[in-house]
Amino acid sequence: MVATIGVLALQGGYSAHARVLHRLGAVVVEVRVPADLQGLDGLIIPGGESTTMTIGVEREGLAQPLRALAQAGLPMFGSCAGMIMLDRQHLGVMDIAVQRNAFGRQINSFEADLELGPDGELDGLAEGTLRAVFIRAPWIAEHGPGVEVLASVDGHPVAARQGHVLAVAFHSELVDDDRLHRLFLGWARSYARAGGASAGGNGGLARSSASQP
């Protein structure tokens, strides 16, 4: 099954995500207005500048449609600024509070090898560590009980999952390892097979311990 994935394209590194998705055989839709959300099996919110993204989302009337799709179970994946956009103070899709630029400025950018999951594995990511690129990266300062922390750096959560929503503080689209995008495409295909938003569910993606955003 070919998944149709939207990439929020108001600002930031959306083209890098699109290139990875194209390479993996997905249909990619650049999302700029609510009409672009029709028929999606998943949505990625890329890195960039969260304040500028917020202004664009509000200007184009995307906030409420995005929240409605999350509630209907559309898989979502936010990276770096995308993590911020998913938090309580922005779209409210995940029960997290995010600290911006938590690791410092551009000069403090770094790379690290992460093991995702509470036991070092997450679905298809069990095969070794994941290289992560942190650029003016945030971290999760607080989260609710329905949020599963998947990876931390120096004790600070940098990757988390809540049901069908994945948020990471780093740029997975800037490395050769495409396992996160493959994992997300698997979620999108499950969502599509379950009938998508018309089914009013999350395609069976949420774990029993995860509350819905």
Chain Cα centroid distance, residue 137:
14
Chain Cα centroid distance, residue 73:
13
Q: Are the C-beta atoms of 121 and 148 separated by less than 8 Å?
A: no
Q: Which residue is catalytic, options 80, 143, 148, 164?
A: 80
Q: Which residue is catalytic, options 90, 143, 148, 173?
A: 173
- CA-CA distance, 26 to 188, in Å (whole number)? 10
Residue 208: how many other CB atoms lie within 10 Å: 4
Q: Which residue is catalytic, options 143, 164, 171, 181?
A: 171
Judge whether 171 counts as a catalytic residue: yes
- How do strand 130-134 and strand 110-114 relate by DSSP bridges? antiparallel
Judge whether 148 counts as a catalytic residue: no
Catalytic residue positions? 80, 171, 173
